[in-house]
Structure 1
Amino acid sequence: MIQIPPRMATSFSANSPNIAANKLIEGDSSNREESVLMERTSRAGEKKTGGAKVASLLLVNQALATLAFFGVGVNLVLFLTRVLGQDNVNAANNVSKWIGTVYMFSLIGAFLSDSYWGRYLTCTVFQLVFVLGLALSSLSSWRFLINPVGCGDGHTPCKPSSIGDEIFYLSIYLVAFGYGGHQPTLATFGADQYDEKNPKEKSSKVAFFCYFYFALNVGSLFSNTVLVYYEDTGMWTMGFLVSLVSAVIAFLAFLLGTPRYRYVKPCGNPVMRVAQVFSAVFRKWKVSPAKAEELYEVDGPQSAIKGSRKIRHTDDFEFMDKAATIKETEEHSPKNPWRLCTVTQVEEAKCVLRMLPVWLCTIIYSVVFTQMASLFVEQGDVMNSYIGSFHLPAASMSAFDICSVLVCTGIYRQILVPLAGRLSGNPKGLSELQRMGIGLIIGMLAMVASGATEIARLRRISHGQKTSSLSIFWQIPQYVLVGASEVFMYVGQLEFFNGQAPDGIKSFGSSLCMASISLGNYVSSMLVNMVMIITARGQSKGWIPENLNTGHMDRFFFLLAGLAAFDFVLYLFCAKWYKSINIEDSDMGDQGQEKEEDVNNKV
């Protein structure tokens, strides 16, 4: 019988495990020290870029660029009537179309930013175009339009040249292209400067959108008071030159932060990704969608979309899951994105579809908002605008809108957010959807106030007089209500669309707010034309004739109030149906996501 000798209990064999353990501990300690060092280095690198200080440069840029934009836009309706000789309806429609074009260009800027150029380059290029447009508007006004000098003050008619007309229209559409193209990208670029993984910076990011809109109104305050006064007295060229100087300073302030900005790389063409999803769905139309756990997704923490986090699967729009369903023939073959998409790519397309109904409900509010730049000004122009011997320009009444925004922003941030936060359990105070609903209601009340003011104005008309004896200060309630509604609606929109948009289409999310304003202006122009076609028959001159004293603009305001009320009912259904995006991020717990969805569902 062969016996197996016992193992020799040498010191080597006895201590081998300890040596291995010691080496493991030493190695582990070394790795830990290395990771701590890397983490410290990473944090040090993060501190060098981004943050509130560098984001404040973008707020300065926003304020000065807005001053420049409204230096042209706020009095444009009077420039068209007094200098270019257009009638009230055509001038109001042209302003509506122009403002609509401004914000429609935001979609172009957002696309280039998300897809190819990135935020910084997009902002740079479009701001250069903006400066060029302002330079041309100053040139055309000085050389070709203000003839004789001092005309366009409401008393002396101008004799503009045809080439001046063409250069001016080219210039204001360059202004539209430049300002509209960089606005949503600037908002997203500002939000990029805050790190969502840092709780303090994450809360600052939420406040940033409030301050962004605050800066916008601070900039427009100067345009709506000082510049409007000088332009109203015929000093149009000076107004355009001040706008040009402001835009140049804004651009220099933007460039000043170049070394300190935090940059996010573009994620590729989102239109192509969405098209791939619908192409894959169409190709697999007869295929039953697989279960959630069987859908195709790449391994690892990163999604297949460059620079974008993964998005968890949702149950709505189930037919779109066909795009991520793996057929037997696709299991071992190369993955064709036009036939098979990842869950994140499918969810990105779902996010767009979920946001669209909410976005469509904001367009009627934008119709309400755009009246401030057109019909409100025309209404104020035929009211008693004198304080003693001082003539107050009708367009300067929008200063009350701006002051309302500034005051309401402070009240909201300092009083309503803490109070609503304690009552609802939401640290933001009210959810974005709740705020947008409140903004829609206040906007409706603004139209009621406008209609009531118009009724009072018509009752104070003296025979043969162009202006009513009713003081222009009766417009204050409608301007204040519009301003209060902006704080809830537009700030809420900026936060909602930026927060709910996937990483690959953040600028597109911000641009939806401005695209809403764009379509609102086009719809407003369409409504004015339809109303005039329907009401201007026979002896009737319609609701908004050349001489407003013979019309019924109050009925148009009440029509908008009714449309806003109907829109609010539709909005309630859309907001109740909406489901929040669910990002797959280790730093975002499921519990926090569920809490946010619960708050959104309490609309």
Structure 2
Amino acid sequence: MEAKPNEVEEVETCSEDAEDHPQRGGWKTFPFVSGNVLGLSVAAGGWASNLIVFLMTKFNVKSISATQINNIILGTNNLFPVAGAFIADSFLGSFSVVSIFSFISLLGMIMLTLIATTHSLRPSSCPPGSLTCEGPSKFQYSVLYAALTLASLGLGGTRFTIATMGADQFRKPHDQGVFFNWYFIALYVANVISFTAIIYVQDNVGWGLGFGICFIANVIGLLVFLLGKRFYRQVKPKGSPFMSIARVLVASVWKMKISLAASRDSDYFYGDVALADNTVPTKAFRFLNRAAIKTEEDKQFDGSYEKTWKLCTVKEVEDLKTLIKIMPLWSTGIFLSTPIGISSSLTILQALTMDRHLGPHFTIPAGSFLVFNLLATTISIFIIDRFILHKLRPLQGIGIGHVINIVALVGSALIERRRLEVVTAHNLTNQPGTVVPMSALWLVAPLSVVGIGEAFHFPGQVALYYEEFPKPLKSTSTAMISLLIGIGYYLSTAITDLVDRTTGWLPNDINQGRLDNVFWMLAVIGVVNFVYYLICAKFFKYQNQSV
């Protein structure tokens, strides 16, 4: 396929901004980049995927508190990539950010390994089902939170930044697309290893060895990445595109007294490009147009105009308007990820109380059940990509994902109701720690349905934001997915706390609670959010007609 002129221009620009020569970049860097992705993802998945179980069994944290801590940590994991991207784009560059935060992640792995192997850093062990367990001291909590903070910052600062750096190694858009495919394959492979092998070691051999494996994986990932330094093309920091957004807001407020009634196209600042070749100010959010109006105060000594905190180009103003238009749709993703975050945590609590035997000699770790969600997403993405994707526009795919997620929550509520019936039938209500005679494999069904839903709405959101975000924010568009997931996890913590305070649905022993009511509540939230999504989608207009 013949490259479009603008594509060639972008590639050449990238090449000019990179500190490289002909022998740098290309596929020879892929083993070093993918080695970092594999190593750090195995390490991150090893501690994050089984955190609830670790808090409950080794730190004697109550089940609901454990889920709240878990959701806060997962939220941080997904919020910090935006900060990592800002630091890389504005100050340090991708290589420095990945190197620094890989080391920070390593420090977190060292601390978690020490916590798991040093008795004084955690409370005394507690028999299963005991109601008089010794809780962690303030010092033990401080060490734990410090370790989790370092591990979380390390994960957040590397995951999206290494993807950007990997794509920077290639000059052709086709090669960049192939890299992203292999990047996600490496990510999925690492997650499968974490959700199965490492969790099994933690639950059945020892937490010290489990975290020790995470430490070794982190070391390997960091060393492999550093070994490739002489091969990398390193793109210089260009400054954050968020600065132009801030400048538009400041300039529009500064000039709020200027009248727009008699303004003409020639009154606006277009930068170095001629008026005929530029975007004219639109009427939407017209008050922002003031930021691009030229005044005598904006004129330089030689009579020219330059971008300042009081004067922006029309293009910058229109880019901000585009973001404002897409934000309502983006916000629906927050209320989509919130029920997913809550239900994932509650599913682990359910699995801990149910029969997890697979044959006479093997017990599935509770944290490993989330791998069924991962597998369902992976398989569904492959099927959708091959047979369905070309028939759907992004908004349609996202809408289907909303509906499927609601169905999954209804299924979770019905399965939990059945579990509570078994609890009552066997008189296990007041016997915490006793395994309910019901197979935990029942949980596979709703987890798989959630995975199918994610296969629709997650790629749909990535495609929508990448196509519709302004050009200067293309690299930030994918990080917006991580941002909404992070906010969703924080919101899930707040909702869980509210339910815990106002109802009796979430006691420490879930056999005495009503998790089914929580799932029904989440399904109702999903329905309301879907209606909100339909309203936003109805009024949204694609800016890029190629979508």
- TM-score tier by shorter-chain length is 0.7 to 0.9
8 Å Cα contact 1:457-1:470 kept in structure 2 = yes
Aligned: 1:562 with 2:524: yes
1:368 to 313, 330, 339: 339
Q: Which residue identity lines up with residue 377 of structure 1 in the other structure?
A: I
Corresponding position of 2:7: none
47 and 296 in structure 1: CA distance in 2 versus 1, 3 angstrom threshold? same
Corresponding position of 1:491: 459
- In structure 2, what is the Cα distance between the partners aligned to 1:130 and 1:310? 45
Corresponding position of 2:505: 543
Q: Which residue identity lines up with residue 502 of structure 2 in the other structure?
A: I
50 and 503 in structure 1: CA distance in 2 versus 1, 3 angstrom threshold? farther
Corresponding position of 1:317: 285
- Aligned-CA RMSD value: 3.3
Corresponding position of 1:104: 79
Aligned: 1:295 with 2:268: yes
Q: How does 1:498-577 map to 2 (within 5 A)?
A: 498-535=466-503, 542-577=504-539
Corresponding position of 1:230: 201
8 Å Cα contact 2:298-2:305 kept in structure 1 = yes
- In structure 1, what is the Cα distance between the partners aligned to 2:87 and 2:37? 20
Corresponding position of 2:69: 94
TM-score by length of 2: 0.84
- Residue 380 of structure 1 and its aligned partner are, at CA, apart by 0.9
8 Å Cα contact 1:383-1:468 kept in structure 2 = yes
Structure 2 residue matching 1:288: 3-state secondary structure: coil
2:400 to 426, 430, 438: 438
Structure 2 residue matching 1:470: 3-state secondary structure: strand
- Residue 242 of structure 1 and its aligned partner are, at CA, apart by 0.7
Once the two structures are superposed, residues 57-112 of structure 1 have per-residue CA deviations (whole angstroms, 9 ceiling, x without a partner) of 53443233221111111111111111111111111111111111222222321221
Q: Which residue identity lines up with residue 482 of structure 1 in the other structure?
A: V
Deviates more, 1:451-460 or 1:321-330: 321-330
Q: Which residue identity lines up with residue 562 of structure 1 in the other structure?
A: V
Aligned: 1:187 with 2:163: yes
Corresponding position of 1:343: 314
Unpaired segments of 5 or more residues in structure 2?
1-11
- In structure 2, what is the Cα distance between the partners aligned to 1:167 and 1:576? 50
Q: How does 1:145-224 map to 2 (within 5 A)?
A: 163-195=139-171, 198=172, 201-202=173-174, 205-206=176-177, 209=180, 211-224=182-195
Aligned: 1:78 with 2:49: no
- In structure 1, what is the Cα distance between the partners aligned to 2:266 and 2:104? 49
Once the two structures are superposed, residues 128-183 of structure 1 have per-residue CA deviations (whole angstroms, 9 ceiling, x without a partner) of 1111111111122212368799x689589899776444322211110111111222
- Residue 300 of structure 1 and its aligned partner are, at CA, apart by 4.9
2:427 to 442, 463, 466: 463
Q: Which residue identity lines up with residue 493 of structure 2 in the other structure?
A: S
- In structure 2, what is the Cα distance between the partners aligned to 1:100 and 1:560? 18
8 Å Cα contact 2:281-2:289 kept in structure 1 = no
Structure 2 residue matching 1:469: 3-state secondary structure: strand
- Residue 518 of structure 1 and its aligned partner are, at CA, apart by 1.3
Structure 2 residue matching 1:557: 3-state secondary structure: helix
Structure 1 residue matching 2:452: 3-state secondary structure: helix
147 and 259 in structure 1: CA distance in 2 versus 1, 3 angstrom threshold? closer
264 and 497 in structure 1: CA distance in 2 versus 1, 3 angstrom threshold? farther
Corresponding position of 1:139: 114
The structure having more radius of gyration, on CA atoms, is 1
The number of residues matched between the two structures is 516
Unpaired segments of 5 or more residues in structure 1?
1-37, 302-308, 425-429, 536-541, 582-592
- Residue 184 of structure 1 and its aligned partner are, at CA, apart by 2.5
8 Å Cα contact 1:184-1:507 kept in structure 2 = no
Q: Which residue identity lines up with residue 346 of structure 1 in the other structure?
A: V
Q: Which residue identity lines up with residue 162 of structure 2 in the other structure?
A: L
282 and 453 in structure 1: CA distance in 2 versus 1, 3 angstrom threshold? same
Q: Which residue identity lines up with residue 366 of structure 1 in the other structure?
A: S
- In structure 2, what is the Cα distance between the partners aligned to 1:233 and 1:310? 64
Aligned: 1:381 with 2:356: no
53 and 346 in structure 1: CA distance in 2 versus 1, 3 angstrom threshold? farther
1:472 to 436, 440, 448: 440
Aligned: 1:354 with 2:325: yes
82 and 460 in structure 1: CA distance in 2 versus 1, 3 angstrom threshold? same
Corresponding position of 1:326: 294
**Could you tell me the percent identity over the aligned residues?**
29
Structure 1 residue matching 2:410: 3-state secondary structure: helix
Q: How does 1:242-261 map to 2 (within 5 A)?
A: 242-261=213-232
8 Å Cα contact 2:106-2:151 kept in structure 1 = yes
Structure 1 residue matching 2:93: 3-state secondary structure: helix
- Residue 311 of structure 1 and its aligned partner are, at CA, apart by 7.5
